[in-house]
Chains A and B, each alone.
Chain A
Amino acid sequence: MAVPAGLDWVLVIIGEIMIAVGVISDLIAAIGLLRFPNFYVRLHAATIGTIWGAFVPLIGAALVAAGADFLGRYRWFMAGGAVITAVLILILGPAGSHALARAAHRSKAAVVQPKVVDHLEEDSRAPSPKEEGGEESEAEVKEGGEP
């Protein structure tokens, strides 16, 4: 039931450090999301806010809840729920960001304004048969052109 004496302080201090790291990177991610020039650069800041700003403080909150005696009997429920939320965010956050980025690029909803190079757009616009490994694409073109 109870954590061994002395170990509860270790849990609480480590958890508070993780919550502090999470809060700081949360603020950094918010500033980055506000200041970055276009959608694809803002994705970088948003995923920092997802993993470092949500996953890490959730694990820290679980450690704090496991070590804090004053929460009573339900602190193990709080610790377990925090760990489950953290694992869900670890799996779902990158998946959602990838789906959103792919949809934004395919539908051209987000304009790439300060752009250096966009190979994905060139590939999707003109599939040229003269490139390396062109046998498959040539065969596809021939098949498509037959009827």
Chain B
Amino acid sequence: MTVSESEVITFIIITLPIYMAAFTLYAVRALKGPTIPDTVLAIDAMTYDLAAFLVVLAIFFRSPILIPTAIVLALWVYALDIYVAKYLESKEMGE
């Protein structure tokens, strides 16, 4: 018995509004954050979750081309963390 396609798609459709609510709350903190580390932390958490969301969307749309975007997104937000940490600590961007 093969896996029914409609069951998986229905499950993903149910999870979509919860993802949207979580991203909205993350965006509120990112826009409102009183200090720079708060903003960067909210963008950090939101982008890691966006990478997971992209993989779920790749199953939903049946398009494997969305997978490399998730890897690139995870690596770039780590670079954002390190750059902001370095700038805050020594007020310069490095080399």
Interface residues of A (CB under 8 A from B): 5-6, 8-9, 12, 16, 19-20, 22-24, 26-27, 29-31, 33-34, 39, 42-43, 45-46, 49-50, 53-54, 57-58, 61-62, 64-65, 67-72, 74, 77-78, 81-82, 84-85, 88-89, 92-93, 95-97, 99-104, 106-107, 109-111
| A100–B93 CA distance with the chains assembled, in angstroms | 14
Instruction: Given A12-B3, A34-B28, A71-B62, check contact A97 B22 (CB 8 Å).
Output: no
> B50-89 interface mask toward A, CB cutoff 8 Å, 1 = contact, 0 = none?
0110011011001010011011001101100110111011
List chain B residues, Cβ under 8 A from A109: 35-37, 88
What are 19 contact pairs spanning A and B, CB under 8 A? A8-B3, A12-B3, A22-B52, A26-B49, A30-B21, A33-B41, A42-B29, A46-B45, A54-B48, A57-B52, A77-B67, A78-B58, A85-B52, A85-B70, A88-B75, A96-B78, A97-B81, A109-B35, A110-B35
Instruction: Given A49-B49, A78-B67, A88-B74, check contact A107 B89 (CB 8 Å).
Output: yes
Whether B45 contacts A33 by the Cβ 8 Å rule is yes
> B1-19 interface mask toward A, CB cutoff 8 Å, 1 = contact, 0 = none?
1110101100100010011
Measured CB to CB, the closest approach of chain A to B38, in angstroms, equals 6
Interface size on B, residues (CB 8 A): 52
Whether A96 contacts B81 by the Cβ 8 Å rule is yes
Measured CB to CB, the closest approach of chain B to A61, in angstroms, equals 4
Whether B67 contacts A99 by the Cβ 8 Å rule is no
List chain B residues, Cβ under 8 A from A29: 22, 45
Instruction: Given A30-B25, A42-B38, check contact A53 B48 (CB 8 Å).
Output: yes
Smallest CB-CB A-B distances: 6 pairs = A96-B81, A81-B67, A30-B25, A103-B85, A99-B85, A104-B37
For B11, the closest partner residue in chain A by CB is A16
| A71–B81 CA distance with the chains assembled, in angstroms | 35
